[in-house]
Homo-oligomer: A and B are copies of this chain.
């Protein structure tokens, strides 16, 4: 049986009411608060169908209905209009992000902003190294046998690593190394660098080969292998909004999951996805987060995607609002990155 227009209206009304009141919603309350133009009894019949189809369920026999993950999914896909942001919100976003000094600052402001606007947990991935190019490599002598390698990416990310040299290397030789690695690697995508780094070792004069090999291994680690994705989080306290029942009684698994970078990355999904993505409850791959929903999207200058961001909260969240906010913030941040 397919769902006619009114049944969808009923589902929409249930979702909206439940999200705002946090309580199972009954047929009578529903007709009172929405002009459905029919009686409670009719709504009850519709509800019975919706329940049979798995869109809503009853926590107890004598209670109202609550949307299921499937119900939210239908709501998100077909029943909700994205709420346009209020001018005040737009201004808040602009003002909040405008003063950022550098990448770190942008990311921090963004994540706090998201948490504040959505009242959920916000997650922002730093521009991914894998999608960046090398802007500059700097070698700073710390001692005769130790360098600090500083890599500056075009996305503004800066990574540094210590390099312990096998033999002492005088400053002039360091300058040579610096020149060589920059000539070879600047402008290249980080993911394209491995063969180039290898070539560096092969081409260098034999007496410097050992040093270059050491440097090369650190380079590879920094540029590719380590692939260190960084992530900023904010708004954890928002998890305590509303009742604990939102998370089947315990914040434990969620707080645990949020401490694992690997999990957070999986959560944000493939960076590739430039389109906004909503994962509802069980759709989540991470077991600890089956009672939450995630709204995430990629961001970056222009059409390029360099990282993702999103919010996480109870499945009972304001999807249209959060979707609008995440989308808007991502767009602003993208523009900001484009300007630099």
Contacts and interface: CB of A to CB of B under 8 A. Distances in A.
Interface of A: 101-102, 135-136, 138, 140-142, 148, 150, 152, 158, 160-162, 234-237, 239-240, 250-252, 255-256, 258-259
A94 B20 CA distance: 51
Nearest to A239: B255
B255 A162 contact: no
B162 A102 contact: yes
A267 to B, nearest CB: 16
A133 to B, nearest CB: 13
Nearest to A158: B160
A239 B259 CA distance: 13
Contacts of A235: 259
B150 A158 contact: yes
Nearest to A162: B102
Contacts of A236: 236, 255, 258-259
A218 to B, nearest CB: 10
A138 B135 contact: no
Contact of A152 (B135, B142, B161, B255): B142
B138 A140 contact: yes
A258 B150 CA distance: 31
A259 B240 contact: no
Nearest to A240: B252
Contact of A256 (B138, B150, B237): B237
Nearest to A150: B150
Contacts of A135: 142
Nearest to A148: B152
B148 A140 contact: no
Nearest to A253: B237
26 contacts: A101-B161, A102-B161, A102-B162, A135-B142, A136-B140, A136-B141, A136-B148, A138-B140, A138-B150, A140-B150, A140-B152, A148-B152, A148-B158, A150-B150, A150-B160, A158-B160, A234-B259, A236-B258, A237-B252, A237-B255, A237-B256, A237-B259, A239-B255, A240-B251, A240-B255, A251-B251
